[in-house]
Amino acid sequence: MRTDMSENCRLCDITSLPVNEIYVVYSSKVNNWNTESTNTITIWINLHCLDNSPSCKVLIWHFSSANIAKSTFSGTPNLFQNRKVALLTPQGRATKDQKQGCPQGLYSGPALWNLVANEILNQVWPDNVHIQDFADDFLLVIKADTSKSLVEDTQSAKTQFSSWCSENELDISTEKTNYILFSKMVRSPKITWNGYKINRVKSFKYLGIHVDDRLNWLEHINKQGEKAIKMQQNLKKIAGGNGESLRYTDGLSIKRLLREFWPTDL
């Protein structure tokens, strides 16, 4: 289900939007709230579903209860079970059971998670709370006029989200859950989740884009520059000392860096 981007994101199936539009939804909300309010916080939440566990069964149950043709559903439970990761080692091919995470690289992609995620996205949230997700990565954006209100409203939003996780028997990956603060507060608010401290970060990577607490592109440009330099060095090793080859590999590195935000084809 696609909706106009001006609508509240929690009422739409956001995984049907292109990745760049998903980021625009988030950044527009943060920019608007950061203008209206002195304190805005984003909590980046990562969930995982364990194979052969109740949380996996919940996904299968949502799939079976949806209005989907039986021929489509018949093989879907196998996507959650008997998954393996293969790796080539000096000793030969090695495999390991994959017991968590959203199935990747499939025809369904993150759409499988929509069946569960739509439930929390469509819940009634306070006007100062915005929620969106892509696959098993969720964002909670909360704004408040004072630091005290920010902590209280954040706690309330976390409680609502945790209740939904408990009902669906989903696990929060606390080590991958962080928050970023858009505020002039001197002291960072203490944010905990089920007894675990959630770390404040200056930037985080969301859908391939590095978001920083100043809401500018500097962090993303720096990271892309580092990536391009590393790529250039690797290509130079392959090309050797040939001058023409070096010019070609340098061009590849520059194009790779610019392609992500250049308005036209390079």
One domain for residues 195 and 245:
no
Query: In the prediction, which pLDDT does 118 show?
Result: 82
104: number of Cβ within 10 Å? 11
* Measured distance CA(46)–CA(20) in Å, rounded: 20
One domain for residues 36 and 131:
yes
One domain for residues 36 and 146:
yes
One domain for residues 127 and 199:
yes
29-68 confidence digits (pLDDT tens) = 777 776 666 788 999 998 865 444 444 556 666 666 666 5
184-241 confidence digits (pLDDT tens) = 887 888 888 888 889 999 988 887 788 888 888 888 888 888 887 887 777 777 766 6
Q: How many domains does the chain have?
A: 2
130-167 confidence digits (pLDDT tens) = 998 877 789 999 999 888 899 999 999 999 999 998 88
* Measured distance CA(220)–CA(202) in Å, rounded: 12
84: number of Cβ within 10 Å? 8
One domain for residues 232 and 212:
no
73-125 confidence digits (pLDDT tens) = 555 555 555 566 677 777 778 877 765 555 444 444 455 667 778 888 889 99
One domain for residues 123 and 244:
no
Phi then psi for 103, rounded to 5 degrees? -55, 130
Query: In the prediction, which pLDDT does 12 show?
Result: 36
In sequence order, the 6+-apart residues with CB closer than 8 A to the CB of 201 are: 178, 179, 180
Domain that holds residue 146: 19-53+107-216
